Amino acid sequence: MASSFTWLDYSEQDRRKMLDVISLFREQTTRDELGIGAIRDAFANLFFPGVSTIQTRARYFLFIPWVYQDLVNRKTTSQQVDGKLRQQEVALINILAESADKDGTIGKVSRAALKRLPSSIYWYGLGSWGIYRYGGSQQEYHQAFDRLNRSSRRTQHNDDGDILSLQSTEWDPHLPQAPADFPASASFRLTAEEAEYLADRIAQRHPRSLLAHLVRQSEPSKSRFPWQHPAVDSLPPDLQEQLLHAQNFSELIHGAALLYNLMLAEAKPDATLAELYRTDLQQWATQLSARVEALQGWNRQAFWQLVNQQAGPVRITQSFVNYWFDLALDPDSAFSVADNAAAKALIHDREVALKGQQARLDNPRALELWLGNSGALQLNFRWPTVSKILNDVLTGLAQQEADYDVAA
């Protein structure tokens, strides 16, 4: 019998997390093979609230409410909203997929066959940023569509008093209006007004987040990790400390992921892959050695206090991670970790504890299905997605500044 997921009494946030996990299982390099996802997500949520790994571009935060407002104006009923929404989102996909800047178009390949629509992917973020204000799940909103739109519509008029549109107050009243020809000429380019609106939403709802500081105090960046961003030195001390915790964790735990993949390559056996991971481990050890004093002087207690505040207690994971940290920071261990019996036993036992009989290191069939790379990338806390969305907003804000300069 094929396995399936069913939704019981989950919140929208729980449901969103599960859908994201399902999507990520298709990405071999992002899988959480060693059970450190709670720590990873604690930092990602702290730094970048409302952003998930499967989002792509900033203007989707406006596309979705514009589509819903059009459904309100068309007096769409609760029974119709699912089908009408899909029709409009697929139409938007087709337009974006044929545009000059199609990078980040969700459903570019699947088109009408797309299973998870952009509105679902962005739903939690829309609520987190205060753009969607009803508070329920997308399904609950659809079920209440008739009632809500009867009781909470605002009428927009032009200067002559003529009705322009009906807007549901489940959406932020300061939301920029959709272009007159939307979605026919839809693109990912934010206007200055739209960029300012999104920056303001982030700043209002999450003023102490790294995202809020970067959207107001930085320029577009191509940095690989958030701690490499040029604006880091201008951040408040508490954010700099949080970023340092994230950097140290990311760099140290990366070796555990590489060792796990090396052990799989050796067990398969695949000599070419094994040599690749041995080389990666040597490079990892070299990078650690350049920061060894900072890492050895790192306040791990403060790190775990922050993790527990954000994710709740993770005692078993904490024991595993601390043991790995001790091995990684031992001068006699880091450069020889590929052949360190204690390190390999730690990784083996961790996988068995997490997966039981499905652990690849003990299960030949599971090992046979391994594709050569599972969770081997260094943790970046959603930074590739965040930087794309952030750069979209910053580019729009720069256009605003350019307009001011021309006017002056």
**Which tens digit of pLDDT belongs to each residue from 375-400?**
999 999 999 999 999 999 999 999 86
Question: What is the DSSP code string of 210-250?
Answer: HHHHHHHH------SSGGG-TTGGGS-HHHHHHHHHHHHHH
Whether pLDDT at 18 is above 90: no
271 in any annotated domain: yes
Do 69 and 43 reside in the same domain of the chain?
no
- When pLDDT is averaged across residues 102-123 and rounded to a whole number, the result is 98
Do 266 and 341 reside in the same domain of the chain?
yes
262 in any annotated domain: yes
19 in any annotated domain: yes
Do 175 and 278 reside in the same domain of the chain?
no
pLDDT in tens, 194-214: 999 999 999 999 999 999 999
Both structure tokens of 37: 């996802």
150 in any annotated domain: yes
322 in any annotated domain: yes
Q: Judge contact between 365 and 355, C-beta under 8 A.
A: no
What does the alpha-carbon distance between residue 385 and residue 121 come to, in Å, rounded to a whole number? Answer: 13
Higher pLDDT, 314 or 19: 314
Do 241 and 353 reside in the same domain of the chain?
yes
Do 344 and 246 reside in the same domain of the chain?
yes
Provide the 10 A C-beta neighbour count for residue 108.
Answer: 16
Peptide bond into 173 cis (omega under 30): no
State how far Cα 396 lies from the chain centre.
21
Domain housing 125: 60-189
pLDDT in tens, 337-377: 999 999 999 999 999 999 999 999 999 999 999 999 999 99
Whether pLDDT at 119 is above 50: yes
pLDDT for the residue 357? 97
163's enclosing H/E stretch is strand 163-168
Both structure tokens of 58: 């900033």
Do 22 and 113 reside in the same domain of the chain?
no
Do 21 and 137 reside in the same domain of the chain?
no
- When pLDDT is averaged across residues 204-230 and rounded to a whole number, the result is 95
pLDDT for the residue 6? 38
In the chain, what's the furthest Cα-to-Cα distance?
80
Percent of the chain exceeding pLDDT 70 equals 86
Do 124 and 150 reside in the same domain of the chain?
yes
Question: ∠ at Cα 348 (274, 22), nearest 5°?
Answer: 85
Q: Please give the model's pTM, rounded to 2 decimal places.
A: 0.88
Do 19 and 101 reside in the same domain of the chain?
no
How many domains is the chain partitioned into structurally?
A: 2
163 in any annotated domain: yes
pLDDT for the residue 185? 93
Do 239 and 363 reside in the same domain of the chain?
yes
Whether pLDDT at 151 is above 90: no
pLDDT in tens, 254-312: 999 999 999 999 999 999 999 999 999 999 999 999 999 999 999 999 999 999 999 99
Could you tell me the end-to-end alpha-carbon distance of the chain, in angstroms, rounded to an integer?
Answer: 69
- When pLDDT is averaged across residues 13-20 and rounded to a whole number, the result is 54
393 in any annotated domain: no
Whether pLDDT at 161 is above 70: no
Do 298 and 275 reside in the same domain of the chain?
yes
pLDDT for the residue 366? 97
SS3 of residue 182 by DSSP: coil
Do 31 and 85 reside in the same domain of the chain?
no
Of 161, 189, 217, the residue at which a domain comes to its end is 189
405 in any annotated domain: no
Q: Which residue has the tokens 């939307």?
A: 182
